[in-house]
Amino acid sequence: MTTIEAPASGGAARNDAAPRISTDLPGPKAQAIIARDQAVASPSLTRAYPLVAESGSGVVVTDVDGNTFLDFAAGIAVCSTGHSHPKVVAAIKEQADRLIHIAGTDFYEPRYLEFMERLAAIAPFEEKARVFLTNSGTEAVEGAIKLARYHTKRPGIIAFEGGFHGRTMGALSLTNSKVKQRAGFGPLVPMVHHAPFPRVRSWREGTGGDGSAELAHLKNTIFGRQIAPSDVAAIVVEPIQGEGGYFPAPAAFLEGLRALCDEHGILLIADEIQSGMGRTGSWWAIEHAGVEPDIILSAKGIASGMPIGAFIARESVWTWPPGAHGSTFAGNPVCAAAGLATLDILESEGLANAAEMGARLRRGLEDVADRSGVVRDVRGVGLMLGVEFESHEAAEAVQDAAFRRGLLTLECGESSIRFSPPLIVDADEVDAAVRIFGEAVGAARTPEKGMDETGG
Ligand SMILES: Cc1ncc(COP(=O)(O)O)c(C=O)c1O
């Protein structure tokens, strides 16, 4: 049995819950639940490590055996206001008492309306915006593909190598992150082409450039040989690739995509399901480049963990008629109420904090990287930061060693670890996470110790 506590000077002071690991991981209760889960759950689930969560508060998650963790994964960048923020919980309870469901596709409801109004107000368009609420990220992608095809009367879509857009058939056709996500599911949607995405590693290698080579490939090879731009409805891009490895697109690349879209009457769709909702210190990552998309997609951090997403488009794009698109549960009033409370919290404290804490976290991670000698890159914007290692095995070993010390992170790309904590994270929590991460990198570098730490 191990007992690990974060140093007295750090830890989750606000929650009075410094990471405390007092059982072997997984503990006895966690082991029992994992065994039952394995007997019934779909084998397609890929649990990163054996965390069995029981409760959460702020940035701290407690497992079923009473171990506590600093959560810098936030349920895959979802718990933007932390776990069970009191204002979000109150909004959910109040709305559940009032009305749980009515079907926004068929009837009007005030929370549904107010949430659309708030999202339209923060959409990064000059033109007035309209909103369609969804149940998830992948459903927002599906809806946006349909809207783009309907509006342009064109079939083709350009997506990017390494991109991730979801797992339903349309979104999966765009997804290009890991082949196991696509294997066995074809034929996928036709006339989807994947262009190269700039993988800029500027921290140590200084490589990647400004995306001009990738733009030239799209213009010359894809539009020159594979699909005529006049057949393309939309270019779908993550301004910061998430699952693909936390690669921010250079501003010049996004500007180049905008120019291509303008030249050929193509819609630019920004998939900000992971990078949006204030995570980068602005509502949308694409705002850092000063580029306006035609459609923007949101989900994940939009409602602190309640299942809701949205596709938001410029007024003139919505040319489809009543009945063209709908969804039974989407925009559920309880989720919308949680979304409204989430927007309030992000507006009043989350955005500014994401920028400030993001800078602090980045400095800490770069410091660990400098000292470790095994880190290939540190990159990202605000509280969307990735640390790339030389190999998948190294990233996996560090992720596991961090977990065993009370820090939750998640791998992404081929060999990176992502840091996507709640946007309300404080300086003590950031410092504690950096310390634990440094220890985890050290442990994973020592083969014997690393073997022990990862269970062999
Ligand atoms: C950029 C991006 N788009 C789409 C999705 C799909 O969202 P969901 O898992 O809610 O369907 C994800 C999920 O990771 C994502 O990161």
Confidence (pLDDT) at 445: 80
Q: Does 265 share its domain with 214? A: yes
Ligand 1 contacts CB of residue 418 (under 6 A): no
Q: Does 194 share its domain with 110? A: yes
Q: Does 294 share its domain with 169? A: yes
Cα(177) to ligand 1 centroid in Å equals: 12
192 in a structural domain: yes
Ligand 1 contacts CB of residue 142 (under 6 A): no
Residue listed under structure tokens 């290939």: 376
Hey, how many other C-beta atoms are within 10 angstroms of the C-beta on 297?
30
157 in a structural domain: yes
Cα(309) to ligand 1 centroid in Å equals: 10
Question: Which atom number of ligand 1 is nearest to the Cα of residue 297?
Answer: 3
Query: Which of 46, 78, 138 is the pocket-test mutation for ligand 1 (most atoms within 8 Å of CB)?
Result: 138
Ligand 1 contacts CB of residue 156 (under 6 A): no
Tell me whether strands 416-419 and 384-389 are parallel, antiparallel or unpaired.
antiparallel
Q: What is the DSSP string of 370-432?
A: HHHS-EEEEEEETTEEEEEESSHHHHHHHHHHHHHTTEE-EEETTTEEEE---TT--HHHHHH
Q: Does 108 share its domain with 33? A: no
Q: Does 254 share its domain with 118? A: yes
Question: Which atom number of ligand 1 is nearest to the Cα of residue 309?
Answer: 10
103 in a structural domain: yes
Cα(138) to ligand 1 centroid in Å equals: 6
Ligand 1 contacts CB of residue 338 (under 6 A): no
Q: Does 92 share its domain with 35? A: no
Q: Does 30 share its domain with 130? A: no
Confidence (pLDDT) at 205: 82
In tens, the pLDDT along 171-189 reads: 999 999 999 999 999 999 9
Ligand 1 contacts CB of residue 238 (under 6 A): yes
Distance CA 297, CA 386 (A): 22
Q: Atom 13 (ligand 1): residue with closest C-alpha?
A: 166
Cα(137) to ligand 1 centroid in Å equals: 5
DSSP class of residue 179 equals G
Confidence (pLDDT) at 209: 87
Cα(192) to ligand 1 centroid in Å equals: 18
Question: Which atom number of ligand 1 is nearest to the Cα of residue 271?
Answer: 1
Ligand 1 contacts CB of residue 345 (under 6 A): no
Residues of the chain with pLDDT under 70: 1-17, 447-456
> What are 207's strand-pairing partners?
201
Query: Which of 168, 300, 418 is the pocket-test mutation for ligand 1 (most atoms within 8 Å of CB)?
Result: 300
Confidence (pLDDT) at 447: 54
Q: Atom 4 (ligand 1): residue with closest C-alpha?
A: 165
The CA-atom distances, in angstroms, between 103 and each of 2, 91, 98, 106, 134 are: 50, 19, 15, 6, 12
The residue among 277, 311, 343 that closes a domain is 343
CATH code, domain with 252: 3.40.640.10
Confidence (pLDDT) at 202: 85
Q: Does 40 share its domain with 157? A: no
Q: Does 158 share its domain with 27? A: no
432 in a structural domain: no
Confidence (pLDDT) at 17: 44
Ligand 1 contacts CB of residue 166 (under 6 A): yes
Cα(276) to ligand 1 centroid in Å equals: 11
Cα(239) to ligand 1 centroid in Å equals: 13
Tell me whether strands 267-271 and 232-237 are parallel, antiparallel or unpaired.
parallel
Cα(211) to ligand 1 centroid in Å equals: 24
Confidence (pLDDT) at 9: 35
Q: What is the DSSP string of 52-100?
A: -EEEEEBTEEEETTS-EEEESSHHHHT-TT-BT-HHHHHHHHHHHHH-S
211 in a structural domain: yes
Confidence (pLDDT) at 2: 45
Q: Does 34 share its domain with 155? A: no
Ligand 1 contacts CB of residue 299 (under 6 A): yes
Q: Does 101 share its domain with 25? A: no
437 in a structural domain: no
The residue among 309, 327, 343 that closes a domain is 343
Confidence (pLDDT) at 12: 38
CB neighbour burial string for 402-422, b if at least 16 within 10 angstroms, e if fewer: bbbbbbbbbbbbebbbbbbbb
419 in a structural domain: no
Ligand 1 contacts CB of residue 136 (under 6 A): yes
Hey, how many other C-beta atoms are within 10 angstroms of the C-beta on 434?
23
Number of structural domains found in the chain? 2
Ligand 1 contacts CB of residue 164 (under 6 A): yes
Confidence (pLDDT) at 11: 36
The CA-atom distances, in angstroms, between 415 and each of 310, 342, 397, 406 are: 30, 32, 11, 21
Ligand 1 contacts CB of residue 244 (under 6 A): no
Ligand 1 contacts CB of residue 242 (under 6 A): yes
DSSP class of residue 266 equals P
69 in a structural domain: no
Whole domain around residue 315: which residue ranges? 86-343
> Phi/psi at 198 (nearest 5 deg)?
-65, 125
Q: Residue 343 corresponds to which tokens in the numbers above? A: 């927007």
Q: Atom 8 (ligand 1): residue with closest C-alpha?
A: 137
Cα(16) to ligand 1 centroid in Å equals: 33
Q: Does 202 share its domain with 304? A: yes
Q: Give me the half-sphere count of Cα atoms (radius 13 Å) on the Cβ side of residue 55.
A: 7
